[in-house]
Each structure stands twice: as C-alpha cells, then as structure tokens.
Amino acid sequence: MAGSIYGTLFRISTWGESHGKGIGVVVDGCPAGLEIDEAYIQTFLDRRKPGQSAFSTQRKEADAVEILSGIFEGKTTGTPISLMIKNTSQISKDYSDIAETYRPGHADFGFDEKYGFRDYRGGGRSSGRETAARVAAGAIAVKILEEMGISLTTYVRAIGPYTIDYDKFDKEEITRNALYMPDAECAALAASYLEEMKKNLDSAGASVECVIRHVPAGIGEPVFDKLDAKLAQAVMSIGAVKAVEIGDGIQAAKLNGSQNNDAFYIEEGKVQKKTNHAGGILGGISDGSDIILRAAFKPTPSIYQEQETINRKHENVSIAIKGRHDPIVAPRAVVVVEAMAAITLVDEMLMNCVSRMDYLKKIYER
C-alpha cells in the first residue's frame, strides 16, 4: 500500500515523480454537473509554480494541467477526472550527488529502508513536486465548496521570528507579496530575514494558516473521522509539516475552561459564538463559525552548507546539496494547505449527506 489514495467519497489518487514524465491525479467521486475547465485549475497551479520569486527554486516549470477525462460539455460527468501535469524541466545531473548519499532532513534513508531502493532523481516520489497533483485536485474541491457558498483564505502567518499582526490583516495583500503574507510590513521583514538565510546558505521555517468561512454546522463524523482529525491528517501529510493546530491550538493547553469555552448566543435568529477559540470545530463537528487551522513547516532541509551524513554503504560522509531549492517551503505550500483542507472538507460534506433518514428522503422523493 503506497498510500497515494486519499478520501472516502471524494477520492484522489496521485502519481508521479519529480523527474519522471510527469505527475497527475485521478479524482474519483466528484459529483456530476460541476463546471470545470483547465484554465480554472491552472490558476491554482500557478500559485504553487516554481520560479516566481527570489525565494523560490529557479527550476522553470510551466506546470500546465491537462484534463484527460471526466469532463463533457464543460461539466463533470460523475466519472473519474484524470489530470496530468507534464514535467518539462527535469535536469537529472543536478541530483546525481544524492544517488548514493542520504540527505539530512529528507526521506532518502527511509525510502531505501522501506523499498530496498529509490528513484533518487530530485527526491523522486518524495519531492515537493508531488503536491502539484494535490493542488489540481484541490481546485475542484474548492469549486464544489464555492457552489455551497463556502470560501477559503490561506496565507503565510509567520516566517522564522516574524509573525503577522492581525490588526494589520489585509486579505488583498496576500497575493501582492511573494511571501503570501496578509501584512505588508511583516512580509518586508520576513523578506530581509530570508535574504540573510540565503546569504548564510541556510533556510527558514514558517507557519501557514487557513480560514474556512460559511461551513454549515453539523459537518464531521464524531469519533475517528472527526473533521479536525481528518484535517490534521490532510495537512500533516504535506511534506515538512511538523505540527497542526485547530483554533487556539497549542495555546488552548494553557488556558482554563472559563477562558477557552466559546459562548453561544442568538442574534437575528442565527446561532453565533462570542469567541472562536475552538476554531469552528467542537467534538469533531463544525459549529458554523470559521474553521481555523494552522500548519507549522520546518525549514527546507536542502541547504547549500556542508552537512554530515551517511551514504548507502553506511559510511560517514559529508554533503553540500547542489541544485535548485527554495530557502523556504511555506509560500508555495499555501495553496497546498488550501487544497488539502478543501478536499477533506468536501469529503466530510459528502459523507454528511447520508447521515439522516430525512436527507435520504429528500434525494429519493421524486
């Protein structure tokens, strides 16, 4: 079980390596009748595309998506949607040094232990490039959510020591700076910090936040498939993520109950909450307020500094990783977090469609 299939009803099956012919995804279970085209999906891929800023790998990939199946007359048919993104800029020689050596902070050693050998070109299947397939599928999920009136806003919340100031939060700013931060001042400080990291042949960690608005209350399965539990798997499955938080997350452990509980109240006939420490999920089920999740990304493990490590023959060696790599993962991962959150939420919303006899009757009463 290579574990490259995700979801229960809205299922995505991804494939491809960094330096193979391409990468792709098959989406099985997208409801019929959704309007989708390549141009729309491309807008998501463009948010992840390399080579867009000084802080992103200079590998030039068009990352052009092609729809191979599942769309007819501009709409999904309900059958599998196959999407492919061809690799166009693979330069294998860049990666020749890692064939025999295990890079610190990478899965190289684990792959060899697990599979006996590995496609070492650019990280193979463990390359960050794998996430492009998730983004393509995520674009479809976001479209489904949009049709339900649900929207996602995702951005970089912190880079190294610099965290955004929520009082200066400007949604429009997210796409104006290369770091996808909603606070221009913080983005400028972070940019300087990254320049310094680059000079030091080093890299930086970061935090990404995703806010999902207008999710109806009642979504999520109450035990193992809690909405937050599935979101945690979804987000932690992105390479380099080391922590996932919902709402106040880690801080909740330091509060007491009277501080942390969110009071419900009714206003204009609608259920509201005075605070949202819970991040929109209680007992694994959405409560109708904003869903807030955060992912902590470790610094890019590929750095130009000389590092101690071992090789395949289990000898002590050192390595200075050449080639093209980002000093920070998070800006390009913003859309990946959004994609995984959207895919997970769609799956849970589909599952919720069969939770009540009166829902069944709504479908089958004709």
Q: How far is the CB of 171 from a copy of itself (least distance, A)?
A: 22
Q: Residue 137 or residue 335: which is nearer to a copy of itself going by CB?
A: 137
> Could you give the angle at which helices 131-147 and 330-352 cross, rounded to 10 degrees?
50
C-alpha 103/C-alpha 85 separation (Å) is 27
Q: Residue 13 or residue 52: which is nearer to a copy of itself going by CB?
A: 13
Closest by Cα among 69, 64, 4 to 36: 69
C-alpha 366/C-alpha 355 separation (Å) is 20
Identify the helix (H) or strand (E) that includes residue 243: strand 241-246
Closest by Cα among 348, 330, 356 to 280: 348
C-alpha 36/C-alpha 32 separation (Å) is 11
C-alpha 11/C-alpha 74 separation (Å) is 21
Identify the helix (H) or strand (E) that includes residue 317: strand 316-320
Q: Residue 31 or residue 51: which is nearer to a copy of itself going by CB?
A: 31
Q: How far is the CB of 51 from a copy of itself (least distance, A)?
A: 21
Q: Residue 50 or residue 247: which is nearer to a copy of itself going by CB?
A: 247
Q: How far is the CB of 152 from a copy of itself (least distance, A)?
A: 17
CA 69 from centroid of its chain's CA atoms: 24
Closest by Cα among 125, 136, 173 to 46: 136
The C-alpha R_g of the chain, in whole angstroms, comes to: 21
Q: Which amino acid is at 159?
A: I
Q: Residue 116 or residue 172: which is nearer to a copy of itself going by CB?
A: 116
Q: Which amino acid is at 195?
A: E
Q: How far is the CB of 50 from a copy of itself (least distance, A)?
A: 18
Q: How far is the CB of 225 from a copy of itself (least distance, A)?
A: 3
CA distances to 50, 194, 205 from 54, in Å: 10, 9, 16
Q: Residue 23 or residue 139: which is nearer to a copy of itself going by CB?
A: 23
Q: Residue 172 or residue 358: which is nearer to a copy of itself going by CB?
A: 358
User: Taking the CB of residue 313, how many other CB atoms lie within 10 A of it?
Assistant: 7
From first CA to last CA, the distance across the chain in angstroms is 42
Q: How far is the CB of 130 from a copy of itself (least distance, A)?
A: 6
Token look-up 């989708």 returns 36
Q: How far is the CB of 109 from a copy of itself (least distance, A)?
A: 6
Q: Residue 264 gets which letter from DSSP? A: E
Q: How far is the CB of 106 from a copy of itself (least distance, A)?
A: 6
Q: Residue 176 or residue 356: which is nearer to a copy of itself going by CB?
A: 356
HEC sequence for 257-310: HHHHCCCEEEECCEEEECCCCCCCEECCEECCCCEEEEEEECCCCCCCCEEEEE
Q: How far is the CB of 173 from a copy of itself (least distance, A)?
A: 21
Q: Residue 172 or residue 238: which is nearer to a copy of itself going by CB?
A: 238
